Structure 1
Amino acid sequence: MRYLMLVLDTPDAPADPVGVPDIETWVRDTYDSGRAIIGDRLRPPADAVGVQVRTGEVVVTDGPFTETKEVIAGFDILEAPELDEAIRIAAAHPMAHTGAIELRPFWPLGLDGDTEA
């Protein structure tokens, strides 16, 4: 099962967190084991744009465009046999200690014969 792991920067992050794992170690361990497929940091919300189509016209808005205090700072695509393993991987990420992690399982469209829904 694949999971999208959203890495969130939160306003309630502890000022001086203790015991935060090293990001380089997490990346090496997770990617070398085949538990992560791809991931990256994201530019700040001020660099984002929103795209909508309304009455046939494309409407583009400058970011930030959501009313939220959390910011998606990055992502990873995880490959884990079950949710408990994805949670273990996410809990070892430094941002689980200083921000937040959201895990979302993929929901295959079934277009290529994949019937898992």
Structure 2
Amino acid sequence: MTVNPDPWWPQALLAAVILGDAALSLRPPGFIRGCLNGVGFPDDWWWTLVVIKVLAGAGLILGISSAGLGLAANAGVVVYFVVAAYAHIRARYMTSEFWINCLGMLGLSAGALVVSYAHTL
């Protein structure tokens, strides 16, 4: 059994959004800065999020044609946003950034996972 995404386009869409998020995170605009400060994520560790997002985007793109890699990358993105949601809840930072950005990205990544890999179940 091969574990390639079918259809592939949700993976490409998710990769584009994640890589765009990584680019924004290089010089975080106010809503990202407020979110990271709101959950208490240390300023000197913000660079790690850029690295994680770039690696996730690369994994999603490469996973379109490499059996299993895309599934692992997509599952990792879902876990990343589950942890981000937990950080928001734990910090009681339930602003619009949580509802729109964090949960929106969790929904997008979970949706891409289900749509692209439901055929493997």
TM-score by shorter chain over 0.5: no
**When the two structures are superposed, what TM-score results if normalisation uses the length of structure 1?**
0.29
**Higher relative CO (CA 8 A, sep ≥ 6), structure 1 or 2?**
1
Bigger share in strand: 1
Q: Which has more radius of gyration?
A: 1
Bigger share in helix: 2
